[in-house]
Amino acid sequence: MQIQNVIQKTGLKKRTIYYYIEQGLILPRSNEINGYFIFTEEDVNQLLVISNLRRAGFSVAHMKTILQHPGAAQFYMQKQIEKMEESITRQQRILEEMKRLEDAFPIHTSAKDLYSIFSSDSLITPNVECEERFQDRNARVVCLYLWGFFLNNVPVDSYRKSLWERLCRSVAGCEQTGKMKNAGCNYTEIIKLKRTLYQLSAEAIEGEYFINQRHCTFFSKMKEESYEDYLDLSKKALQQFVQRKKQSKYWKENYENLIVPSIAVYGCPPQELLMELSPLYQPYYENIQKICSGCYRWMLCDGQGRSVKRTLENELQIKMDFAEKEYGVIASLLKYSLC
């Protein structure tokens, strides 16, 4: 396909297309004889994506990242929406202040009048945190990370979309009151998790997404007759966890800001809602509970299990308090050890 055809299909100017080629956003092959670029339908589709992302205010660097790591696209989209909402909020606040100050101006304004008005009032408002204002947005980012993959290969009709909205509101604590109250978990954990996710690279986000998906798919396939095999494999994985330096290092580096808040938030929404949202969730939830319960009993009652528990606590610098039979730590250890 020649560039004139691409111009017709995308509505982009020739110099704009060449600029995106120079920036490495698309990589069309060139004709060996005359050096002209030869475009494909994939190049056209990428240019349409780039054009829309550009209009949405994305930088060239972010557009390149999204094209290279499409699994992180929604996180970048959420970040951009939040950035735009905060900008609109600040601009709206300045506009309201301008209208208020307008009434203070005399018909004929002197330099002395300006000094007097602006010595007591300022249009330059501080960069106020908008976390509380956008609590639904924060919850949406966290839900996308924790449960978004459960909708892979699942038809998302209007009913499932409504369930997803209920899930986000439930995590944000808005399901009943419409206000930022969350009886299920501390809302600061949602903020902490969202900020951590925003600091991750696109490659790291895709990696986390893949680990979550693989972990849940693995345990959702467990049958009653294969329980003992899964349990033995899980015990072995826990035994070997600290020996795997890369996993152990990753756990220590991300425990406070990624793993702990993930565990806290995971128990917030009603499990029935998640089961209704995705057919994959119920077998995963029931199976991981069985496996964690088996590991829990092993760590409390078996000599080898108690030794593994002490090693994990000492090496990973964590406290595995099972007084409440909280399986979140075990499930997280299995997630990173069986990935």
- pLDDT (tens digit per residue) in 171-201: 887 544 434 444 445 678 888 999 999 998 8
* Per-residue model confidence as pLDDT tens digits over 95-145: 888 888 777 777 778 888 777 777 765 555 555 455 555 667 788 889 989
Residues 6+ apart with CB under 8 A from 332: 259, 262, 263
The pLDDT, as a whole number, for residue 251 is 92
The pLDDT, as a whole number, for residue 85 is 86
The stretches of the chain forming alpha helices (DSSP H) are 3-10, 14-22, 41-55, 60-68, 73-102, 111-120, 135-147, 158-172, 187-199, 202-220, 227-240, 245-254, 260-266, 271-277, 281-301, 303-316, 328-337
The pLDDT, as a whole number, for residue 87 is 87
For 32, phi then psi, to 5°, come to: -65, -25
Residue ranges of the chain with per-residue pLDDT less than 70? 120-135, 174-186, 321-326, 339
To the question of domain 3-68 being in CATH 3.40.50.720, the answer is no
Question: d(Cα 191, Cα 196) in Å, to the nearest integer?
Answer: 9
The domains of the chain are located at 3-68, 85-120, 135-337
Distances (CA, A) of 300 to 78, 240, 274, 314: 43, 18, 30, 16
Question: d(Cα 141, Cα 139) in Å, to the nearest integer?
Answer: 5
